[in-house]
């Protein structure tokens, strides 16, 4: 889950983990219409409207995802309603799900704000026989046909490895996401464990920022006052944390470009154009590109499959990803998320280079 701009998102979010789903077939057919020609359910029939619920729109990441949705829906022959923005409010997201169900949608693609709270909406959808695909965040409980998500453990590990290779010893800061989200927990725990195992000379300082830009800025300012000797920063969401982090460093005279004395090595997560520009300027050093385009594409891909009654098994896919079964039994398509540095930041295949 990500966002940007200094808009405060003070919402309470609760625990996270995974839900439950079954698997069977390996292949998804590419044909078939999902125009609204009759009833459909997880048991069969691929026709009907699909609702798409966004977590927020104050982030370049989610703005890009929102822009990709109609394009990918058309390419996958899925008939979607206009997207709905839950505006960073988990309670509103449940209301949005119920509203979409009351409009008679035959499928839902939802990016959960809260891994635990989303269960209420998923239960409503299951009672009505409406399949759901979760994007970006896995639910704790409740039935989903598939989770479309990159490997967030790998995000934390890649950030750790990059910082560890650049910094032999000293203090590094982890600006964490919401620990009520499985994404925030996966990244935080993976980064922490990797540093402990592979780079024991690094000392990790942590800022719980809950995907809130204002919180990140104020807590980073306080931390830097007490620790002016930090050497690295890991931002778990560039969309939320990039601008406030750079501004805070600049205000303290600590924003030095790569190669300059006193440069603080910074690695991020998201892959938004603003991060790429910051890499080019030498303000930050790397980011893990979370695939907004593929989230939209395979959200449509799997909801169409679910509406047609198709199921999947763990294993490699035909689109360079791997479907895994998580401990609770839920299936997750873990899409590729490459590390971006100055060496490959201009790669035209990166989605961040395809949007304005």
CATH number at 311 reads 3.40.50.2300
pLDDT of residue 95: 98
Considering the domain architecture, whether residues 284 and 321 belong to the same structural domain is answered as no
Same domain, 125 and 247: no
E strands, the chain, where?
A: 50-54, 84-85, 107-110, 132-135, 146-150, 170-176, 202-208, 232-235, 265-270, 286-289, 315-316, 322-325, 331-335, 339-340
For residues 34 and 79, the answer to whether their CB atoms sit within 8 Å is: yes
Among candidate residues 289, 320, 346, the one where a domain is terminated = 289
- Each of the 356 residues of the chain gets a pLDDT tens digit; together they read 544 333 333 333 333 333 333 233 333 322 222 223 333 333 334 568 999 999 999 888 999 999 999 999 999 999 999 999 999 999 999 999 999 999 999 999 999 999 899 999 999 999 999 999 999 999 988 999 999 999 999 999 999 999 999 999 999 999 999 888 889 999 999 999 999 999 999 999 999 999 999 999 999 999 999 999 999 999 999 999 999 999 999 999 999 999 999 999 999 999 999 999 999 999 999 999 999 999 999 999 999 999 999 999 999 999 999 999 987 788 999 999 999 999 999 999 999 999 86
How many of the other CB atoms lie within 10 Å of CB of 87?
Answer: 17
Q: Is residue 2 part of a domain?
A: no
Q: What is the distance between the terminal CA atoms of the chain, rounded to a whole angstrom?
A: 21
**Pair 164, 349: CB distance under 8 Å:** no
Quick one: 85 and 140 in the same domain? yes
Residue 3 lies in a domain: no
Residue 23 confidence (pLDDT): 33
Three-class secondary structure of residue 332 per DSSP: strand
Q: What is the pLDDT of residue 34?
A: 28
Shared-domain flag, residues 104 and 58: yes
Q: Are residues 231 and 296 in the same domain?
A: no
Structure confidence at residue 46 (pLDDT): 55
Q: Are residues 258 and 329 in the same domain?
A: no
Give yes or no: residues 193 and 281 share one domain.
yes
Number of other CB atoms surrounding residue 49 within 10 Å: 18
Domain region containing 245: 152-289
What angle is formed at CA 288 by the lines to CA 60 and CA 333, rounded to 5 degrees?
Answer: 90
CA 299 from centroid of its chain's CA atoms: 13
Report if residue 44 sits inside a domain.
Answer: no
* Residue 355 resides in a domain: no
Identify whether 211 is part of a domain.
yes
One domain for residues 282 and 156? yes
The most distant pair of C-alpha atoms in the chain lies apart, rounded to whole Å, by 66
Rounded CA-CA distance 229/212 in Å is: 25
CA 72 to chain centre: 18
Rounded Cα distance between 264 and 336, Å, is 27
Provide the domain count of the chain: 2
* Residue 351 counted as domain residue: no
CB burial string 246-277: b at 16+ within 10 A, e below: bbbbeeeeebeebeeeebbbbbbbbbbbbbbe
Whether residues 210 and 272 share a domain: the answer is: yes
Give the residue among 149, 102, 164 at the shortest CA–CA distance from 296. 149
- Same domain for 198 and 73: no
In a shared domain, residues 159 and 143: no
Rounded-to-integer distance, Cα 252 and Cα 100, Å = 48
Residue with tokens 């907004």: 292
Query: Does residue 325 lie within any of the structural domains?
Result: yes
304 contacts 133 by C-beta, under 8 angstroms: no
> Does residue 55 form part of some domain?
yes
Do 89 and 166 fall within a single domain? no
């Amino acid at each position: 889950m990500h966002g940007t701009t200094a808009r405060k998102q003070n919402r309470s979010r609760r625990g996270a983990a995974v839900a439950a789903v079954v698997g069977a077939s390996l292949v998804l057919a590419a044909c078939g219409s999902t125009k609204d020609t009759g009833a459909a359910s997880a048991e069969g029939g691929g026709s009907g409207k699909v609702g798409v619920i966004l977590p927020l729109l104050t982030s370049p990441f989610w703005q890009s995802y929102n822009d990709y949705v109609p394009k990918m829906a058309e390419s996958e022959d899925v008939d979607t309603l206009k997207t709905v923005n839950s505006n960073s409010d988990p309670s509103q997201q449940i209301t949005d799900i119920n509203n979409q169900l009351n409009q008679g949608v035959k499928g839902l693609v939802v990016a959960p704000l809260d891994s635990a709270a989303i269960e209420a909406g998923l239960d409503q959808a299951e009672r009505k026989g409406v399949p759901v695909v979760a994007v970006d965040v896995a639910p704790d409980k409740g039935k989903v046909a598939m989770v479309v998500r990159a490997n967030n453990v790998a995000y934390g590990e890649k950030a750790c490895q990059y910082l560890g290779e650049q910094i032999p010893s000293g203090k590094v800061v982890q600006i964490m996401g919401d620990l009520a989200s499985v994404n925030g927990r996966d990244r935080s725990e993976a980064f922490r464990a990797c540093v402990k195992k592979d780079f024991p000379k690094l000392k990790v300082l942590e800022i719980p920022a809950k995907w809130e830009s204002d919180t990140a800025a104020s807590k980073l300012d306080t931390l830097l006052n007490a620790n002016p000797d930090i050497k690295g920063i890991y931002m778990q969401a560039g969309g939320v944390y990039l601008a406030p982090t750079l501004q805070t460093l600049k205000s303290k005279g600590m924003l030095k470009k790569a190669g300059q004395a006193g440069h603080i090595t910074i690695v991020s997560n998201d892959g938004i154009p603003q991060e790429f520009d910051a890499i080019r300027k030498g303000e930050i050093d790397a980011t893990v590109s979370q695939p907004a385009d593929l989230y939209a594409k395979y959200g449509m891909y799997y909801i169409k499959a679910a509406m047609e009654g198709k199921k999947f098994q763990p294993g490699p896919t035909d689109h360079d990803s791997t479907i895994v079964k998580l401990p609770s039994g839920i299936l997750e398509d873990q899409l590729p998320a490459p590390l971006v540095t100055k060496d490959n930041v201009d790669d035209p295949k990166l989605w961040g280079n395809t949007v304005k």
